[in-house]
Chain A
Amino acid sequence: MTSSTFLNIQGLSVGYGRNAVLSGIDLELGQGEFIALLGSSGCGKTTLLRTLAGFMQPSSGRILVAGRDITHNPPERRDMALVFQSYALWPHMSVRQNVGYGLKVRGIPRSVIGARVDEVLTMLGLDGLGDRPVTALSGGQRQRVALGRALAIAPQILLLDEPLSNLDARIRLTVRHEIRSLQQRLGITAVHVTHDREEAMVMADRIVILNQGRIEQVGSPEELYRHPASAFVATFLGADNVIRLHAETEASTLFLKGDALAGGAGVVPRPEHLTGYRGPVQAHFRSDEAEIVSGSSNGAGIELLGIVKHASYPGGIWRHAVAVGDEEILVDAKNSHAQGANVRIRIPADALFVFPAEAATQSEMNELQRGGATQAAA
């Protein structure tokens, strides 16, 4: 544990009965840090949040806050405030009563509660709505009340369970920034669960990508975007165009071969994780980072040959579905290319993420890491 670690999750495993949902989660958060737990449905991100809040008990592992073990503390003794996806506002109470409830429970004098609630309502732009029943509020206002209720008790840690998923797209963009700036202003440590990649990217200091109950990668939004550690992370962060190739490495160079490549071959700098690797690979890239070019060009990268199957205009750019060998990829371009046109697609080396093909097993990877490169059939 580093000296700046505030929330420390050590080897946390959680399950429902015999079904393990989370396995061996290790994570450290600094004070005032905003972390996003990102993953698809069923990856265990909400389970992790609920375990932090105390609503689920881990089968093994520990949770420490400022060095204090709170693993077995009940939810009411964790000093963490959770904002629920459904907001979970109490319909029989007014806005003011909802926001002040946590303070009332703590036995704080009524006058102090009143002042604090006013302060929170002002901070969230809910002035004048204090005496309204929560049932009379809009979705965005309810979301703010839920946030205000959590912030009123000045918790050590703020837990956010997809709090924006019930808002319409326009309001969501505004509230995203509001929550982030509020968190920074208050210096509160926050854990935010979301399945929305862009939401995680714009809000979080660091993103934790979860897959099937395990952490795939932790890093800053840019780090994850530019250097995904696995095919899953690359796909999840938008690099979902996949071309299957064969790879060979030599020193710091990666030689790629495949029928889809212009000239049948390409050369890019070798990523760290493919040291000594030889065998089938899958190359991932984003549609907006590939470029349709008229002739061969200089610079590190690969070029693919394909035929335009379809072009559509989602706004700003043209999106082309291009058949490359047996596979189909999406490529964005400023100008449209006619259906059936032969095109050359260039992918810069820094936009290409190459991983051993998924058929290559974990044991093969382990052997590679031990230095005994396995000869994998192409």
Chain B
Amino acid sequence: MNQRALGPILVAPALAMVVLFFVYPLAYSLISAFWSPEGWGWANFIKAYELYRNDIVFTVLIIALSTALVGVFSIAIGGYLVLGENPRSVAILKWLYRWPLFIPFVVAGQVMRTFLAKNGMLNNTLVGLELIEPVSAVSLLDWRGIVITFVWKQTPFVALLVAGAMASLDRSMIEAARNLGASRLRILLEIIVPQVRASLTVGLTLSFVTMMSVLSVPLMINAQTPTTITANMAFRINSYGDYGVANALGVISILLTSGVAWLYLRQASKDKSRAIA
């Protein structure tokens, strides 16, 4: 058998897998979003907008807030690992911060339910320490709970990428700034973060997409409205068998994540052109 024929034959099984299990379901969902009992059109999108526009805004806001907080905490963790002067504290932080990486979202949701409830561990601790009165204890099982869970779960992932990038920087760049009199906070913000921006953006983009797709956390923590797009999609399918609106919500999710991906790609191409210059 000649070489030209062998190539397509070898790639065919993998290609078939991609087409069958990735391209086909995605294309089918996209097309179904435009199909309703009335025929082809925007009906599903109009219905999704009328019923769930508050939820769409809610989703964007809490995930944007979570992403921002994940960024702040990742920079803080990475910064301490690189600039920390107490070797024991650095070693403990290095050992601890990765734990949530190995805990599934559904377990994280359950952990946070027991932690953030009105009579949960957080409030019990605060009351025990006499920091708050028992009557003023409030449940955080709402949008705040989702944000806390997302940040708790996603920070280690981004911190892992960011800390790795920070550790690979030429140490003398940090020392040069210290030598010129810069404080450690200044070094972190002015010398280190701009140089690890690419890793930070990748981490935050992937985190944003991951959080957009999480269903278990909003279902377990936020049993009220407004809720996230994923919870709405599950509700349309489980309660009404309404795949049309669910798919329309899915398309809206893809558009939102595509927006973030576009911002990332634009940044990456800017960095690349600067490096070439």
Contact = CB atoms under 8 A, between A and B. Distances in A.
Interface in A82-104: 82, 84-86, 88-92, 101-102
B194 A82 contact: no
Given A86-B170, A86-B172, A90-B195, A105 B186 contact: yes
Interface string B180-194: 111100100001001
Given A75-B178, A76-B178, A136-B277, A88 B183 contact: no
A88 B195 CA distance: 13
A92 B177 CA distance: 14
A144 B145 CA distance: 54
B272 interface: no
4 tightest Cβ-Cβ pairs between the two chains A and B: A102-B180, A88-B172, A88-B176, A92-B194
Interface in B152-182: 170, 172-173, 175-182
A153 interface: yes
A82 B181 contact: no
B11 interface: no
Contacts of B183: 76
Interface residues of B, number: 19
A55 B175 contact: yes
A36 interface: no
Contacts of A254: none
A53 interface: yes
A81 interface: yes
A88 B170 contact: yes
A149 interface: yes
A133 interface: yes
Given A76-B181, A101-B180, A90 B172 contact: no
B277 A81 contact: no
Give the size range of A's interface with the partner: 20 to 34
B14 interface: no
28 contacts: A54-B179, A55-B175, A74-B178, A75-B178, A75-B179, A76-B179, A76-B180, A76-B182, A77-B181, A82-B175, A82-B176, A84-B172, A86-B170, A86-B172, A88-B170, A88-B173, A88-B176, A89-B176, A90-B177, A90-B191, A92-B195, A101-B180, A102-B180, A102-B181, A105-B177, A105-B182, A133-B274, A153-B180
A302 B182 CA distance: 60
Contacts of B277: 133, 135-136
A113 B89 CA distance: 38
B271 to A, nearest CB: 9
A80 interface: yes
A202 B275 CA distance: 38
A370 interface: no
Nearest to A101: B180
A75 B175 contact: yes
A106 interface: yes
Interface of B: 170, 172-173, 175-183, 186, 191, 194-195, 274-275, 277
A153 B195 CA distance: 24
A106 B181 contact: yes
Interface centre among B172, B180, B275, B277 (most CB of A within 10 A): B180
Contacts of A76: 178-183
A259 B211 CA distance: 87
Nearest to A93: B194
Contact of B175 (A84, A92, A133, A149): A84
A307 B178 CA distance: 59
B180 A81 contact: yes
B194 A80 contact: no
Nearest to B197: A92
B142 to A, nearest CB: 40
B198 to A, nearest CB: 11
Interface string A4-43: 0000000000000000000000000000000000000000
Contacts of B186: 105
A82 B179 contact: yes
Given A76-B182, A89-B176, A105-B182, 7 more contacts: A74-B178, A82-B175, A82-B176, A88-B175, A90-B177, A92-B194, A101-B182
